[in-house]
Structure formats: C-alpha cells, structure tokens
Amino acid sequence: MHRNIDSRRAGRLHSGNPFAPSIADHRGAGRKSLLTQAKTLQKSQFPPPKTVWIEPTNACNLKCSWCFQANGAMTRPLGMMTFETFKRVISEIEPFKPQINMHLAGESFLHKELIQMVEHAKKHGLTVAMTTNGTLLRKNDFAILDSGIDFINVSLAGVNSEDYLRVRGMKNFDEVKKTVEDLGAAKVGRRSSAEIQVNATETEQNRGGVAEFKNKFGSMSGIQGVLVRSLMDWQGTVDVSGMKVKSGVVPGLKRFVKSHRRLLKTYVVAKSARNLVATRGAKLRNRTLCDAPYASAGILWDGTVVPCCLDYNGTIPLGNINEKSFMEIWNDEPINNLRKMLKSVEATRAHPTCGPCRGL
C-alpha cells in the first residue's frame, strides 16, 4: 500500500475504510432503486450539484512548492478510496448526472483501480474528467485513453524547464512534455474521444514564458487546449507571496493608465466600489458569497462530503457517504448552516477556511 509515497507520510496512509462498521448498517444505500432515488431528488429543497469531485487518493508523488502537499498544511491522513465506497458514490449521484472530476487533493494515478473507477462511472452514464500531474500518465500504455474518460487535464506546473524546476524541484520537464506529446498522438491514433487540455499556473517569475508555453502545447497534435491558472494561496495556508503576479494589468495598459492620472483615479474608485457592492450587496440581497454549496460537492477518499475542491483538509465536513445518502447530506443541517453562513459577510469572515477563501 506504500506505492510512491514519501516514507515520512507513508505511516499515515490508511488502506481501509475508517467507516467500515457503518457500511454494514447502510448496505441498502447502494442498491436503492432508481425510482426511489428519483423521488428523493424531487423532494430535494435544492437542485443537486452539477459537479462532483471524487478523490481516489489524497497522496501525491510530488511536492509542488505552491501546493499544500509541500508545506505539510494537509494534516488529514493519507488514504485510498475503496472501490466499494466509489461504487456507492456513483450509485448515489447517478440519478442527477453531474460531471465528475476524478481528483481532489492528490495524484489520482497512484490509485491502482483508477482506470476501473473511470470505466465504472462511464458505464453509469456520467461525464468524467480528471486533472493529473502527468508523471504517471503512461501507465499501461496510456490505458486512461481507453477508459472512456471525457476530459484529461495535464498540469505542467512550470512553463519551461527552468520554471518547472522552480516549482517541482525536478529536472524532468522535457520528459513530461514528451509524455503529453505521446498522449496526444496516442489519442489521435486510437481515435479516443477524450479531450486533452494542458495547464500551467502563472507566477511573477514565469509570466514572460506563458505565451511560448501556450503556443508550444497548443499546437501539439491531439491537444485541445491550454489553460493558464491564477495562483492561489489555498485559503491562506500556503505562502505564495514571492510568486504572486505583481499586477493584474497588462504591461502596455498599465503604462497607458499611469500616463492618464484621472483615468487611474477613476479605475481605482470604480474597482473599490465594485468590491464594496459585491460584499455588501451579497448581504443585502440575501445572496450567497459562494455558490459552492449549491453547485458542487467534493467526496474525500474516506467518504467525507465537503462543499468544494478547495477544502483539501476536510475542514467543512457535511456528512459521510458511507453513513447517509448523498441527497440526505445535500439537504441536511451542516450544509444548510454553511449556506446560511455564506449569506453573511461577518460570519463568513470569521470562518477559518471560507473567510480567507473569499478574501474577507
């Protein structure tokens, strides 16, 4: 069960399901008829989520410098979702056909049943996506392409070898680039319908290399797109201050704005007014500061349901899929309390995860 996991963390790896006793009590949940589940859906106060992140594992074989995997911020135990829990999740969410993203806090290719999980979800008619660090994509001759998966998003972390070394502390940028090239070629050769995207995260250090990165990867055969992500600080738990892009304004526009002082003033006033309206307005209009508990859910490897893919530590547990049905959790007290909290600026600001996440 130790796979490629850092030996310091391997001791924390759980191979079994800590909620095992409750599985016996809840055995019927996975076998509920589609009709019963459809009735539960009809009774639901809130429409079910359109996106569900499922975490095969929270273990990772890398330590990207801007990730919670590198600085020890992720304190929950490492583990692998059992196939039994996965099947339960699929049977619970199948009736409302969300898109599932097969990753959350770790590297999903470390799970030895990843391909079977994707195949199972596809058999149940779900749209399946995943994001991967790309280092294990070649497994079994790109077997992922034959699993029926709809979207594969490969994270390059750096835009070139120098940047990759800075972020991942490794010298294998060219190797991962070749893997992406071969994946694209295999996709075309096998006529796989998977859409392949490549992503990198923009930092102050790599801004100059982003355009070339986009051209290089965007022009590869079989690759459908390149996504450039904004840098996050994972709700204040990872120090990214040295990597933050210094200005969101494109250099040319910044020079233009600077040379027109009145325009600059108007821009600053409009920007702060917009922020004020956004936060005050949310409270006044009784709107939510975050739509995650209406639109998405994450299911951690041990079955814990969280509202979003950002809650990598499981600090907002809403229930466990091995103990309650998904729709019960979706309409239960913990998620309703969260929805209520997210209507108030003051209450959200005081929340250790949602406060920093919303920049409050």
Ligand X SMILES: C[S@@+](CC[C@H](N)C(=O)[O-])C[C@H]1O[C@@H](n2cnc3c(N)ncnc32)[C@H](O)[C@@H]1O
The H-or-E segment that residue 256 falls in is helix 251-258
Footprint (CB under 6 A) of ligand X, residues 181-210: 199, 201
Q: What is the DSSP letter of 111?
A: S
Footprint (CB under 6 A) of ligand SF4, residues 94-123: 106-107
Q: Which of 102, 308, 318, 335 binds ligand SF4 (CB under 6 A)?
A: 308
Provide long-range contacts, Cβ within 8 A and 24+ apart, for 282-290.
282/343, 282/345, 283/343, 283/344, 283/345, 286/343, 287/343, 288/339, 288/342, 288/343, 289/342, 289/343, 289/345, 289/348, 289/354, 289/358, 289/360, 290/342, 290/348, 290/354, 290/357, 290/358
* Token digits of residue 317: 């547990």
- Minimum CB separation of residue 357 from ligand SF4 in Å reads 3
The H-or-E segment that residue 267 falls in is helix 261-284
Contact mark string toward ligand X, 266..305, x via CB under 6 A: ----------------------------------------
Q: Is 159 in the site for ligand SF4 (CB under 6 A)?
A: no
The partner in contact with residue 358, picked from ligand SF4, ligand X, none with C-beta cut-offs of 5 to 8 angstroms by kind, is: ligand SF4
- Name the segment binding ligand SF4 (CB under 6 A); options: 59-67, 111-119, 121-129, 223-231: 59-67
Distance CA 250, CA 347 (A): 35
Start-to-end C-alpha separation, the chain: 41
Q: Is 73 in the site for ligand X (CB under 6 A)?
A: no
Closer to ligand SF4 at the Cβ: 324 or 358? 358
CA distances from 261 to 142, 256, 257, 346 (A): 56, 10, 7, 35
Q: Is 118 in the site for ligand X (CB under 6 A)?
A: no
Q: Which of 41, 136, 240, 347 binds ligand X (CB under 6 A)?
A: 240
The partner in contact with residue 307, picked from ligand X, ligand SF4, none with C-beta cut-offs of 5 to 8 angstroms by kind, is: ligand SF4
The partner in contact with residue 29, picked from ligand X, ligand SF4, none with C-beta cut-offs of 5 to 8 angstroms by kind, is: none
Q: What is the DSSP letter of 350?
A: T
Q: Is 170 in the site for ligand X (CB under 6 A)?
A: no
The partner in contact with residue 240, picked from ligand X, ligand SF4, none with C-beta cut-offs of 5 to 8 angstroms by kind, is: ligand X
- Would you tell me which residues interact with ligand SF4 (CB under 6 A)? 60, 62-64, 67, 69, 106-107, 133, 290, 292, 307-308, 310-311, 353-354, 357-358
